[in-house]
Amino acid sequence: MSGDIKRGTVEMTAAMLISGTIGWFVVMSGQPVSGVVFWRCLFGALTLLVICGALGLLRPGILTLRAFTIAVFGGIAIVVNWLLLFASYSHATISIATTVYNTQPFMLLVLGALFLGEKITAAKLFWLTLAFAGMAAIVEGKPETGSGTSDGYGLGILMALGAAFFYALAALAAKWLKGTPPHLIALIQVATGMLMLAPMTDFSQPPQDAGSWAILVSIGVVHTGLMYVLLYGAIQRLPTHLTGALSFLYPIAAILVDRLAFGHALQPMQIAGAAIILLAAAGMNLGWTPRWLRPRALQG
């Protein structure tokens, strides 16, 4: 294993484990979702500003007006994605929300076909169908309460799906920005979010103790600034198949954190649905083709 592969593997693993803990930080912050996202954007922007300055990415002429506009569009999408994902935690648990959120590759598949002319192959269509089967299992596996269903569970699922859709829009914007420094794109995204959410953030009731501030600073500095640096560093060093494989540490970490921190255990139907979705996403990301869909000449 080359030095780049080793370093990229460590960076990708760290990025995914950091991402897997963000649900705990969001819940423990005790802040409204819009407030959490605003402070994430603010502290993330300050962190990325320093990083971009150190990398020499703040010099004039590095961005065209078109690239800046697309980056802002991606920023709007990524912030709406955060709002929906964080809001879904209180309805469908961190485990379920994160698993459903991992349908994002399929959202990007459809958007790529619509706007980039990318081809949907039989194998991709198979994985897409399998992912929807997993979604159906998760919906059917809703937790029971005294009244028979958990209030808001369906809403949580819809929010997580919406978050996946807006993440796919942000990824589509990133595809259009190929060649643009990714750290600069991230800075524009969080700065856009900060401006978006400032009017709806209640500054008259900020966090009241050092612990709450520490959580919000961590979400911005560690879960945004540092995570972006690790993620983009890994993407530049690793082959696509290894990046896709390591990305599944994120939902696994989130499920473990949800179980250990909040005692949320998945029911059998939810476990089956989650496994199906993760298998389908793995098949998509790693380019697997079921044997019966391969050309005969390649099966021999």
Q: How many residues does the chain have?
A: 300
Dihedral, CA of residue 250, residue 166, residue 277 and residue 220, to nearest 10: 10
CA distances, 42 to each of 15, 163, 187 (Å) = 20, 20, 10
Residue owning tokens 């065209």: 64
At residue 202 the predicted structure's pLDDT band, cuts being 50, 70 and 90, is confident
Q: What is the mean pLDDT of residues 117-134?
A: 88
Q: Give pLDDT, residue 180.
A: 86
Residue 106 neighbours by CB under 8 Å, 6+ apart? 127, 128, 131, 280, 281, 284
Please state, in angstroms and rounded to a whole number, the distance separating the CA atoms of residues 281 and 271: 15
DSSP 130: H
Is residue 240 within 8 A of residue 9, CB to CB? The reply is no
Mean pLDDT to the nearest integer, 280-289: 85
> How crowded is the C-beta side of 137, counted as CA atoms within 13 Å?
20
pLDDT tens track for 76-93: 999 999 999 999 999 989
Burial call 8-19: b when 16+ CB within 10 Å, e when fewer: bbebbebbbbbb
From residue 142, how far is each of 56, 112, 137, 155 by CA, in Å?
A: 50, 32, 9, 11
Crossing angle of helices 210-220/22-29, nearest 10°? Answer: 150
pLDDT at residue 297 greater than cutoff 50: no
Place 113 in a pLDDT band, splitting at 50, 70 and 90.
confident
Of 69-73, 148-152, 221-225, 236-240, where does mean pLDDT reach its minimum? 148-152
- Asked if the model's pLDDT at residue 299 lies above 70, the reply is no
pLDDT band, residue 147 (cuts 50/70/90): very low
Query: 20-32: string of b/e by CB count within 10 Å (b at 16+)?
Result: bbbbbbbbebebe
| Range name among 3-7, 45-49, 80-84 with the lowest pLDDT average | 3-7
What's the average model confidence in pLDDT over 129-135? 91
